[in-house]
Amino acid sequence: MERDDLIEYSLHTHHSEEKGKEIRKKIIFVTILLTAVTILEVGLGAFIKQSNAIWPFVKWSFVILTLFKAGYIVMVFMHLGDERKWMRYVILLPYFIFVLYLIFIAIWEGLAVGQAWETYGF
C-alpha cells in the first residue's frame, strides 16, 4: 500500500561509505577522549588523598569531568546531537527539571536534619 501523505524520516536515509568513514573517525576521537578522562580521574583519585587541602577542588573536578563524559556519550554515542532540536529538549528538559528538584529537596532536607542534630544532639 502506497501512501503519499507521509514524509520520509531518518529510518530510511542510509549513509554512504565516505560518510561512514567520517562518523567512525568521530567515534574513535570520542573513545580516546573518554579513556583519557577516565585515566585522569583514576590518577587524581589514587594520588590525592581525601585529607589533602585541594581535595574539594578534586572532588568538584570529578563531577565536572563526569558530566563532560556523560555529554559525549549522550550526544555522540546515543546520537541525541543528531536528532531534531525539539526532540533533544523533550528528552533532556523533563530530566533536568526533576533532577534539580530532587537535589534541591535533598539539600533542603539535609539542612533540616543538620539543624535538628545541632538542636537536640546526636
Indicate whether 119 belongs to the interface with other proteins (CB under 8 A).
no
Question: And the C-alpha cell for 121?
Answer: 544532639
One symbol per residue from 33 to 72: x for binding other proteins (CB under 8 A), - otherwise; what is it? -xx--xx-xx-xxx---xx-------x--xx-xx--xx--
Closest CA to 76 of 12, 40, 15, 33: 33
Binding to other proteins, residues 69-98 (CB under 8 A) = 69-70, 73-74, 76-79, 83-84, 86-87, 90-91, 94-95, 98
Buried b (16+ CB within 10 A) or exposed e, 64-81: eeeeebeebeeebeeeee
Residue 95, SS3?
A: helix
Closest CA to 91 of 77, 74, 108: 74
Which positions touch other proteins (CB under 8 A)? Answer: 1, 3, 5-12, 14-17, 20, 23-24, 27-28, 30-31, 34-35, 38-39, 41-42, 44-46, 50-51, 59, 62-63, 65-66, 69-70, 73-74, 76-79, 83-84, 86-87, 90-91, 94-95, 98-99, 102-103, 106, 109-110, 113, 122
